Amino acid sequence: MRLRSLLVLGTAAVILLAGCSAEPTPTPEPTARPTASASETPTPTPEPLTAPETAFDVTCDDVAAAMADLVGEPSTPVEPVLSVVSTMSWIPGPGQHMFQRAGGIACSAGDESRSWEVTIVPDASTVIAGATERQGYWGEQAECGDGRCTFEVPDGDVLLSATVSEPGIGPADTARIAESLRGLATAAASTVHDVERADSDIIGLPCDRLITAQQVDELLGVSDASLYTDFGGWGIPAEIYHVVNGSDICFFRTSASEYEGPSYLLMTTLPGGAWAFDGQSGTPATVEGADAAKTSAGEHGESILDVRVGPDWIRVMTFDDGSGAPDPAPLAEQVVRSLTVGQPAPQ
């Protein structure tokens, strides 16, 4: 993937990317359903928690086989999500599944010593045009050196992006890896087709429609929370997350300093992501108004509460300021209330 600006924020050392506010993606029209007769009492049927359809026939099995031929078997199982190795802190959770939401795939494997990640996304012309406009795409790329490779491979109406971290890899390996990746891109492009996306109530929804800085202050007992949504930098993942999917990164931290001081809340979303929430690990929890919830802990002491509201997945995360991360439940309850009831009228 492209080099992106990194921002270390507060004691939590949160690395955030691609916060430039994106234009909201239009909400897809829901599929019409037959109307029940007046004599019937319709029983609501929950929507199935099924993964989005991929817009081409290439799978992570195909990617895994190609990468095994190129760099050997990975040290960890291949996962059909974005990697969390040396990535931005907003990626784990909803962000890992952004390419599937867009009709594409994300495949990754490995650890800090050696790893790889490959993504393929359809509607490449639109994605490339948007990322180029926002200075996050600079054309086809194939480069290896000092144990790391980066690739951007457009082919027809798909775009393949890849990173490879492998000790000993260098410029001499560029051509053979590029040839294999181009084969995957060509196979995807030759089978690309239209797919429908699940409906969602949070596409393009601004952060303050879910929770405001004043509410963060009140719920956490602080007085200086400020919303940050512009972090600089852009790339293909940012284009997919913000523009194609209509998600947002909602980050609340102290208003006293842009780079120092406490961080309060990070919220990420996956519109129509109920299928991915269902497979997310965590301890079942109860959040008023939510259809389901799970708690877990972050690598640096963060407290994480994932909630599902209808078809959507929202992650609410608080940070350890040295005395433990605050309970995110009151924040999550406010977010769910905003979605199901609405924000209170301004006083």
State pLDDT tens for residues 157-175: 999 999 999 999 999 999 9
Query: pLDDT per residue over 208-244, tens digit each?
Result: 999 999 999 999 999 999 999 877 679 999 999 999 9
128 vs 27, higher pLDDT? 128
Q: Which residue has the tokens 């492009």?
A: 189
- For 264, phi then psi, to 5°, come to -110, -45
Q: What is the mean pLDDT of residues 140-147?
A: 96
pLDDT band at 304 (very low <50, low <70, confident <90, very high): very high
Check whether 195 has a pLDDT greater than 70: yes
Domain boundaries, the chain: 60-190, 198-340
Check whether 95 has a pLDDT greater than 60: yes
Distances (CA, A) of 164 to 106, 110, 141, 168, 307: 14, 10, 13, 11, 33
Check whether 1 has a pLDDT greater than 70: no
How many Å apart are CA 331 and CA 328, to the nearest integer? 5
Spacing of C-alpha 101 from chain mean position: 9
pLDDT at 167: 95
How many Å apart are CA 296 and CA 282, to the nearest integer? 5
How many Å apart are CA 150 and CA 96, to the nearest integer? 19
How many Å apart are CA 63 and CA 164, to the nearest integer? 13
Dump strand ranges (E) for the chain.
8-9, 14-15, 105-110, 115-122, 141-145, 148-155, 158-165, 225-228, 250-254, 263-270, 283-285, 292-297, 303-309, 312-318
Q: What is the mean pLDDT of residues 29-37?
A: 34
47 vs 90, higher pLDDT? 90
Check whether 96 has a pLDDT greater than 70: yes
Answer for the pair 8, 14: CB distance below 8 angstroms, yes or no: yes
Please give the class, per CATH, of domain 198-340: alpha beta
How many Å apart are CA 91 and CA 299, to the nearest integer? 13
Q: How many CA atoms within 13 Å lie on the side-chain side of 166?
A: 23
How many Å apart are CA 236 and CA 128, to the nearest integer? 8
